[in-house]
Structure 1
Amino acid sequence: MLQYQFSAGTAGLAFLGLGVGSMIGVVFFSITSDKYMKKKAAEADAAADAAGTAREGMKPEYRLVSLPAGAFFLPAGLFIYGWTAEYGVHWIVPILGTAIIGVGNLIIFMALQLYLVDSFTIYAASALAANAVVRSVAGAVLPLAGLKMYDDLGVGWGNSVLGFIAAAMVPVPFLIIKYGEFLRKKYEVKNL
């Protein structure tokens, strides 16, 4: 707000980038997820029919096709937002950075939520509740450090810290896609 001399009324408009990016992320995920999932399930069933083995149908990992894209968008948006705001580049550029953050955030959120639902089937509500608890604790604790971090490091390096953490997590989607089925079978949820 101070960097760009926004009034209190217009400062809220800066969140439009995040909102528009989130909508783009939902549309992108919706289009890619269902088409890819159906295609992969049909290919797996055709291969099973050709081999004379049982059909497995849809695997939860098929939901993760867009997850790597989200994993790249999130740190990219953080770096763009942080450094363009740090150097006072025209106000639209940091807002475009927040739009990229919104795209990445929504793709990651949607892919992981649906992966949990598909992986835990009848225990999906418990899996989503556990996920919500972890997100809520992080959402309550991290802002306590955020103000000090931005005061000490500035917007550029503060967002770079978050961007580096997000960039370090980029391999995780690829690992889940590659080893997710193995881990699900090895650590199968038993009926309690």
Structure 2
Amino acid sequence: MRWFKKFDGRHVITVLLILATAGVITAGFVAQTYQYDNLLSLYAKSQAQLNANGITPTTPSAGQVAEQGAAGAKGSQGDTGKTGAAGRPPTSAEIYAQLTAYCTAHGDCIGAHGQDGAPGLSVKGDTGDTGQSIKGDPGAPGPAGADSTTPGPAGKGITSVTCIRIDVLTTAYRFTFTDGTFNDVTGNCTPTPTP
């Protein structure tokens, strides 16, 4: 500490006061108080160190330094500025882009239901002409079919023809076949007398 003893204590105190004053002026409301307290503490330590080294400071003690006053009242609000010039109206493309973005973010946009239109007219056209039926020429005869290789069923012949009476006024011809069946064909005939 030899170099400190040779240094003029009044100069030290003066420098500290200048730093303290500068800190009070330039700091903000919260930072200013914090910085001021730190400088005041440093100022007190410097005075104590000077006293310990046999140097009597010529400046007031730390307790005699005026404390920082309370913050001043909030000033009144300034006058409202002049109204700016009116902006240009939006373009059709800008309006469409904004509507598209809004509808996408909030769901589909549906407009109000429009009025029902007038009933449509039912117009029936004139009846068309009767269509013509055109018959084409007969086609050429097809080729003859091939003879079957499978024998057909055995045929049946007529064994007899007789006249029978169906009722009082009706007679018929009875055709009897070789397989024992018969077929009656109505016709005028004289029944064969029963023996």
Superposition TM-score, scaled by structure 1 size? 0.24
Return the index of the structure with the highest Cα Rg.
2
**Whose helix proportion is higher, 1 or 2?**
1
**Whose strand proportion is higher, 1 or 2?**
2
Question: Which structure carries more relative contact order (alpha carbon 8 Å, separation 6+)?
Answer: 1
Superposition TM-score, scaled by structure 2 size? 0.24
